[in-house]
């Protein structure tokens, strides 16, 4: 049985983590299937945006599978941790934007998956948390690194060391999510945003994303140089010529 549903429509792939009976908790099989689905979407030249969500109306991902982890040796835990890192790095390094549509519980590994996505949209019933310390663990899929980079060290330490949960309004307030909407509006909003992205110059979107991502690991001076080079490289491309010509001719550009 597949734990992943994939829908491809109009340059957008929607990937649904489908294990609702366990609130979409992630075991090694689910991690592997999600990795394969994301790999297929990022390798598809036709795809310009990816949406990741959870099946059902209660949960995005309620975390790594605690029952499976309770049986793991140190070696198995390292393998599980590595598989999670590989998956989340794949998402973060996707050439095209990945949107997390967070439809309920996003706990532990669930928050961590959303952190690897480029844009986080949440339903009003979304609940975030890094409760691993309550299990005698720490976040193992990048939470100690990505959360602090997104919301700042103080908030990250409060969430990780406290192990508490935060609701969607607080997540919005601290910058953990981009927008909060009614549950029924979540997927339509994700689709609307994806639609907006795919209407833009595909290479320009990819290059902009790459600059932002690379800039996180560079000094401002190095990042600005990187941007300057990337910006210049776009000049004279068919895409750039079409975009600027369409503006002059007062018509929408045809990029795809």
Q: Of residues 126, 141, 181, 198, which one binds ligand DAK by CB under 6 A? A: 141
Query: Of the ranges 47-55, 137-145, 188-196, 244-252, which one interacts with ligand DAK (CB under 6 A)?
Result: 137-145
Residues numbered 162-221 forming contacts with ligand DAK, rule: CB under 6 A: none
Residues numbered 10-29 forming contacts with ligand DAK, rule: CB under 6 A: 22-23, 25
Q: Of residues 17, 107, 147, 209, which one binds ligand DAK by CB under 6 A? A: 107
By the rule CB under 6 A, 60 interacts with ligand DAK: no
H/E run at residue 160: helix 153-162
**E-strand stretches of 89-242:** 98-102, 105-107, 119-123, 127-129, 165-167, 179-181
Q: How many residues form the binding site for ligand DAK (CB under 6 A)?
A: 23
Of the pair 139, 202, the CB lying nearest ligand DAK is at: 139
What DSSP assignment string belongs to 66-128?
Answer: HHHHTT--HHHHHHHHHHHHHHHHHHHT-SS-EEEEE-SEEETHHHHHHHHSSEEEEETT-EE
Shortest distance (Å) from residue 70 CB to ligand DAK: 9
CB pairs under 8 A, 24+ apart, for 228-234?
233/207, 234/203, 234/204, 234/207
- Reduced to 3 states (helix: H, G, I; strand: E, B; else coil), residue 203 is helix
Shortest distance (Å) from residue 18 CB to ligand DAK: 14
CA distance 233 to 243: 15
CA distance 101 to 109: 15
Q: Phi then psi for 137, rounded to 5 degrees?
A: -125, 180
Of the pair 3, 80, the CB lying nearest ligand DAK is at: 80
Query: Of the ranges 10-18, 41-49, 58-66, 185-193, which one interacts with ligand DAK (CB under 6 A)?
Result: 58-66
Annotated active-site positions, please? 112, 132
Residue for token digits 């975030």?
128
Q: Of residues 49, 100, 132, 142, which one binds ligand DAK by CB under 6 A? A: 132
Shortest distance (Å) from residue 123 CB to ligand DAK: 15
C-beta separation of 128 from 83 below 8 A:
no
Of the pair 34, 62, the CB lying nearest ligand DAK is at: 62
Which parts of this chain interact with ligand DAK (CB under 6 A)? 22-23, 25, 62-67, 77, 80-81, 84, 105, 107-109, 131-132, 135, 137, 140-141
């Amino acid at each position: 049985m597949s734990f992943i549903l994939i829908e491809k429509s109009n340059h957008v792939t929607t990937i649904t983590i489908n294990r609702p009976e366990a609130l979409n908790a992630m075991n090694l099989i689910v991690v592997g299937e999600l990795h394969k689905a994301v790999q297929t979407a990022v390798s598809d030249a036709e795809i310009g945006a990816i949406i990741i969500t959870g099946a059902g109306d209660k949960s995005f991902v309620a975390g790594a599978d605690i029952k499976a982890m309770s049986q793991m040796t140190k070696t198995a835990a390292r393998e599980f941790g590595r598989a999670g890192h590989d998956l989340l790095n794949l998402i973060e390094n996707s050439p095209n934007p990945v949107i997390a549509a967070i439809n309920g519980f996003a706990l532990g590994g669930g928050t961590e998956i959303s952190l690897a996505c480029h844009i986080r949209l949440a339903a009003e019933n979304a609940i975030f948390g890094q409760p691993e310390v309550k299990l005698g663990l720490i976040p193992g899929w990048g939470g100690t690194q990505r959360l602090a980079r997104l919301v700042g060290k103080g908030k990250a330490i409060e969430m990780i060391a406290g192990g508490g949960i935060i609701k969607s309004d607080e997540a919005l307030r601290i910058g953990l999510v981009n927008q909060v909407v009614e549950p029924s509006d979540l997927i339509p909003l994700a689709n609307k945003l994806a639609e907006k992205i795919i209407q833009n110059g595909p290479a320009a979107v990819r290059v902009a994303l790459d600059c932002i991502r690379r800039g996180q690991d560079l000094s401002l001076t190095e990042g600005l140089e990187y941007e300057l080079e990337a910006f210049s490289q776009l000049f004279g491309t068919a895409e750039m010529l079409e975009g600027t010509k369409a503006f002059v001719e007062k018509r929408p550009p045809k990029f795809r």
